[in-house]
Copies of this chain bind each other. A is one copy, B any other.
């Protein structure tokens, strides 16, 4: 299985997530409790991973599984980072409007690359750094509000705390991804065993959140487990399955490819969602969406294309090599 096949699949699923979520709304709102969706998605991922792990057990070579507490205790950390991240996101939104918030979200592309370099010690060429910055620029460009769009405030007018929280949020989001990659690549354990650990903690943290919310509203709607599926329709279930499947693909990519591939997949998905929205929901296409797509395509090519496809470098060095080879073979012929 090639990573770009998985990456393309992730792009498709992530972009349909936006579309499905919109379709699952009725009269502009949710008929169900949206907080239940990530919890059920974690459960789905956990179930799938248990099944796959069980299947691996049946095979002649049983899966590698480290059960040492020193390793297992690392697995709740991503969930903890996401928990902090959620609260920082909430804090950010009290200072900035949603369009500034959305634009700042692209910062995580750059912070991911930085932490990828610092934390995982992975080197990027200058061109790849430029590609990363262009990807962030491209996604931002596509989100710039259009002509006559009165419902937006200026990007430069938010209080400084808003930008600070935005930067912290981008760092936490990047940290969660980079840390998970570190965890999955740390040893040769079966991915499904690693997933079981990740999603067990994920499910616990998500459940705690639902219960905490119950306490916060004083159980006025009764406990969560009683209205878990309230208002669920077929499209809500699709949202859950889709979110769960994307999560499994992300986990695969982080183990066998890396965070940068994941970032490209999800960024492309965002653009695809915008293009699909033009057709499905009659959104007005903007020049900036078109520009953003071209920029991101360039970035993709710059990052992943082999160097010889980009620059005409090798000719001279190859010529040197060939000329020396010629010399050598002539020398040897003479000797022979």
Main SS at interface, chain A: helix
A113 to chain B, nearest CB (A): 15
**Contact, CB under 8 Å: A133 / B311:** no
Copy tally for this chain in the complex stands at 2
Cross-chain contact B328 with A294 (CB below 8 angstroms): no
A149 on interface, CB distance cutoff 8 Å: yes
Name A residues whose Cβ lies closer than 8 Å to a Cβ of B. Answer: 103, 123, 125-127, 130, 133-134, 137, 140-141, 144-150, 152-156, 284-288, 291, 294-295, 298, 301-302, 305, 307-314, 317-318, 320-321, 324-325, 327-328, 331
A298-B103 in contact given A317-B318, A325-B324 (Cβ < 8 Å): no
Give complex CA distance A148, B148 in Å. Answer: 4
* One of B130, B146, B154, B301 near A301 (C-beta < 8 A): B130
Q: How far is the CB of A148 from chain B (nearest CB, A)?
A: 5
Beyond the given A307-B313, A320-B321, A321-B321, could you list 5 further A-B residue pairs with CB under 8 A, ordered by the A residue number?
A: A126-B309, A140-B291, A288-B288, A308-B313, A310-B311
Q: When the two chains form their complex, are residues A288 and B141 in contact, meaning their CB atoms are under 8 A apart? A: yes
Some 29 contacts from A to B, beta carbons below 8 A apart, are A123-B312, A125-B312, A126-B305, A126-B309, A126-B310, A127-B127, A130-B298, A130-B302, A133-B294, A137-B291, A137-B294, A137-B298, A141-B288, A144-B288, A145-B146, A147-B149, A147-B150, A147-B152, A147-B154, A156-B287, A295-B295, A310-B310, A313-B313, A314-B317, A321-B321, A321-B324, A324-B328, A327-B328, A331-B331
